[in-house]
Amino acid sequence: MRARLLLTVLLLIASPLLFANEPAAGPEAIRLPPAGVAAPDAALESVAGEATRLSTVLDGRPALRVFYRGGWCPYCSLQLAELRHLVPDLAAAGIQLVAVSPDSPESLRRSLDATPLEYTLVSDRRAELTRAFGIGFRVDADTRAKYRAYGIDLEQASGGQTHHILPVPAVFLIDAQGLVQFAYANPDYRTRVPLRLVRAAVEAMSAGETGRPLRRP
């Protein structure tokens, strides 16, 4: 009860609505699931370009799922690098880290060539998982034109997809039963979840399920 209470307090920008498959009109309109809701499954692609599903990747293990906009986003690159500091503690708690983006497998491979990571990247280039989690929004034509002026082509990054859907950067902590125990997202893509909040959520979930809190550095 105490662990669930802490996780509920930490749940930010939550909504009583469940997952939505249609993309929001903008990042401010997304709705996160409340704690205790079953996390959805969807088709993905591995870095090697092989078809898979989130349930296959996770294989029944608890996970920290991170949604980011793509390797072209400098704020996402900084977050991915920072998340490396969590990997040893997550592993000690039996939790895997999976990062999801609209990037194609080829784009993911380029990101890994530039910065090797100790956790799993998967491609949601069709935005199926992003929409299932309710964090997708459609980028309007004016914004896409601005991105192209900066050398950012969303269709190229996603391997030719034309849906123009991006996720609001978000983090979900999912337990072994597949239930959402913590969620964080901010419509301002420059603001990412502080690691201290993730550590507190992992510690609470671990203490509640196994009595084995996350060790701190």
The CB density around residue 200, as the number of other CB atoms within 10 Å, is 17
Burial 66-88 (b: 16+ CB within 10 A, else e): bbbbbbbbeebbebbeebeebbe
Q: Look at residue 186 and tell me whether its pLDDT is greater than 60.
A: yes
CA distance 99 to 123: 9
User: Higher-confidence residue: 116 or 143?
Assistant: 143
Residues comprising the chain, all counted = 217
For residue range 39-97, list pLDDT tens digits in order.
999 999 999 999 999 999 999 999 999 999 999 999 999 999 999 999 999 999 999 99
Q: How confident is the model at residue 35 (pLDDT cuts 50, 70, 90)?
A: confident
Check whether 210 has a pLDDT greater than 70: no
CA 61 to chain centre: 16
Domains along the sequence of the chain with CATH: 2-209 (3.40.30.10)
- Evaluate whether 167 touches 69 at the Cβ level (below 8 Å): yes
